[in-house]
């Protein structure tokens, strides 16, 4: 069921960015976009819970489920605030939904899911899927995923998506009934195959290249960021030792005692402040991760174009060779080498009836071939059109979102600096009373 490695995905948790003005920016943007779905209903992933149950091989397992809440928009604005509809889903069901969407809408850059396993962690975070911080970030990421799908002009109209949000039971069966599974397997095969395309659309080739670059650069950033976070943590925490030593030292001093003691408290506060700082930084990392995984989705769309182009070229190639065969048969000249031609040379010519039959067959094949080529050409053109529309949409979204991410990073740095100024000014005052 897995797609070409694009399931290890992360999404942002903008909503927890505190003094940031892009706190709910992304959410608002998506809602403002106002697909008809989002105009009707509010979607959120409100909670996460642990469950235990028997799995496919009848073994006990612990897993997490997420509560999806939907609420009609009008009701909320009327202020009646009814109880929202809700259902529980686990991560694997989200994966199933996404795989379905990938197959059903190959020309769409499908939004990614949050990471399956925590990657690019720095030492404080465990890679444990049961870790509450990880679960919380995943909850936020899943909500983001749903909102992204719900705000997509094409995806938001999908019925399977709608029933994912509204029908708890039997949804899985409905998905499998679409028969997407078979297509999923052949899609996977095709996307991983190597083939050479003669005339790809340049734009798609460039976009694919861009996807590669984006993935490489974001991976590097995330790696460096994780290491830097580790180091920053160390710097702040060691200051806690100042707090301890100042406190002990103040006990043996007379006049210096008070100043030292209070300075020590500020050092402790400084050391403690790093936890919040790094939590906010984690959000930035999540934003980058989303686009890391988006890069994969972009590449998939480009690859699909190559595939359709390739199939068109194959069909065209096949048609040409069939036409050539017909010509040879009709004129009796053998321009191309064929075993039949050799054997007929060796063992005498064919009878006119045989030739007639062959010609007829070829004609049929050529007719079919021309149909196929026409079909594929249409397919290709339509694909190019709709895929490029979505890519343009994606580019705009990406530019906006990443700019917002950079801005929120700056805001976070500003907040960190302000805290630092405050703490050290306080400490300075205490020191001067030493």
In the complex, the residues that contact other proteins under the rule CB under 8 A are 210, 213-214, 217-218, 220-221, 224-225, 227-228, 231-232, 234-235, 238-239, 241-242, 245, 248-249, 252, 255-256, 259, 263, 398-399, 402-403, 406-407, 409-411, 413-414, 417-418, 420-421, 424-425, 427-428, 431-432, 434
Residues 135 and 64 sit within 8 Å (Cβ to Cβ): yes
CB of 302 to other proteins, least distance (A): 15
CB of 190 to other proteins, least distance (A): 27
Nearest to other proteins of 197, 232 (CB atom): 232
CB of 290 to other proteins, least distance (A): 15
Nearest to other proteins of 54, 254 (CB atom): 254
- The greatest distance separating any two alpha carbons of the chain, rounded to the nearest whole angstrom, comes to 122
Tell me the CA distances in angstroms from 380 to 194, 208, 310, 373, one per residue in order.
19, 17, 10, 10
What span, in angstroms and rounded, lies between the C-alpha atoms of 72 and 202? 44
Nearest to other proteins of 88, 431 (CB atom): 431
Closest CA to 312 of 382, 381, 376, 384: 376
CB of 270 to other proteins, least distance (A): 9
Burial class (CB in 10 A: 0-12, 13-18, 19+), 51: exposed
CB of 258 to other proteins, least distance (A): 12
Nearest to other proteins of 23, 350 (CB atom): 23
Nearest to other proteins of 43, 214 (CB atom): 214
CB of 133 to other proteins, least distance (A): 22
Edge-to-edge order in the sheet of strand 85-90:
41-54, 60-72, 85-90
Tell me the CA distances in angstroms from 424 to 249, 276, 280, 300, one per residue in order.
20, 18, 21, 51
Nearest to other proteins of 59, 252 (CB atom): 252
- Look up residue 81 and give its DSSP letter: -
Nearest to other proteins of 393, 398 (CB atom): 398
Helix residue spans in 167-201 (DSSP H): 171-177, 180-192
Nearest to other proteins of 2, 410 (CB atom): 410
CB of 391 to other proteins, least distance (A): 14
- Look up residue 197 and give its DSSP letter: -
Residues 69 and 88 sit within 8 Å (Cβ to Cβ): no
Nearest to other proteins of 224, 342 (CB atom): 224
CB of 113 to other proteins, least distance (A): 24
CB of 337 to other proteins, least distance (A): 48
Burial 110-148 (b: 16+ CB within 10 A, else e): bbbbbbbebebbbeebeeebeeeebbebbbbbbbbbbbb
Instruction: Find tokens 């409905």 and name the residue.
Output: 174
CB of 396 to other proteins, least distance (A): 9
Nearest to other proteins of 121, 146 (CB atom): 121
What span, in angstroms and rounded, lies between the C-alpha atoms of 327 and 381? 30
Q: Can you say whether the dihedral through the CA atoms of 152, 157, 162, 163 is positive or negative?
A: negative
DSSP 229-261: HHHHHHHHHHHHHHHHHHHHHHTT-SSSHHHHH
Residues 4 and 188 sit within 8 Å (Cβ to Cβ): yes
């Amino acid at each position: 069921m897995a797609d070409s490695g694009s399931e290890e995905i992360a999404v942002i948790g903008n909503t927890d960015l505190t003094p940031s003005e892009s706190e709910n920016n992304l959410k608002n943007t998506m809602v403002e976009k106002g697909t008809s779905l989002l105009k009707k209903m509010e979607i959120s992933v409100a909670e996460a819970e642990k469950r235990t149950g028997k799995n496919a091989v009848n073994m006990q397992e612990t897993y997490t489920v997420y509560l999806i809440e939907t609420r009609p928009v009008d009701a909320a604005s009327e202020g009646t605030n009814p109880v929202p509809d809700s259902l529980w889903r686990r991560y694997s069901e989200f994966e199933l939904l996404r795989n379905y969407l990938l197959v059903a809408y190959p020309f769409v850059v499908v939004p990614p899911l949050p990471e399956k396993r925590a990657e690019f962690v720095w030492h404080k975070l465990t890679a444990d899927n049961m870790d509450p911080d990880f679960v919380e970030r995943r909850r936020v990421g899943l909500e983001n995923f749903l909102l992204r799908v719900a705000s997509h002009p094409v995806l938001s109209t999908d019925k399977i998506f709608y029933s994912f949000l509204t029908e708890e039971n039997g949804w899985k069966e409905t998905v499998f009934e679409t028969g997407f599974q078979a297509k999923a397997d052949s899609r996977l095969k095709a996307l991983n195959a190597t083939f050479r395309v003669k005339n790809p659309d340049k734009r798609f080739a460039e976009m694919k290249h861009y996807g590669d670059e984006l993935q490489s650069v974001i991976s590097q950033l995330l790696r460096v960021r994780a290491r830097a976070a580790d180091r920053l943590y160390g710097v702040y925490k060691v200051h806690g030792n100042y707090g301890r030593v100042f406190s002990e030292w103040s006990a043996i001093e007379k006049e210096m005692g008070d100043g030292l003691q209070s300075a020590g408290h500020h050092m402790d506060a400084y050391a403690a402040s790093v936890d919040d700082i790094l939590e906010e930084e984690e959000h930035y990392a999540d934003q980058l991760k989303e686009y890391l995984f988006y890069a994969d989705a972009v590449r998939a769309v480009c690859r699909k174009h190559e595939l359709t182009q390739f199939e068109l070229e194959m069909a065209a190639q096949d048609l040409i060779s069939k036409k050539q065969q017909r010509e040879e048969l009709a004129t009796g000249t053998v321009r191309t080498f064929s075993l039949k031609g050799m054997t007929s040379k060796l063992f005498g010519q064919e009878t006119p009836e045989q030739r007639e039959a062959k010609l007829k067959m070829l004609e049929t094949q050529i007719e079919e071939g021309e149909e196929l080529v026409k079909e594929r050409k249409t397919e290709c053109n339509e694909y190019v059109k709709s895929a490029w529309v979505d890519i343009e949409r994606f580019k705009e979204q990406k530019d906006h979102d990443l700019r917002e991410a950079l801005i929120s990073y700056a805001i976070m740095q500003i907040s960190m600096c302000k805290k630092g100024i405050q703490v050290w000014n306080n400490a300075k005052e205490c020191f001067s009373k030493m």
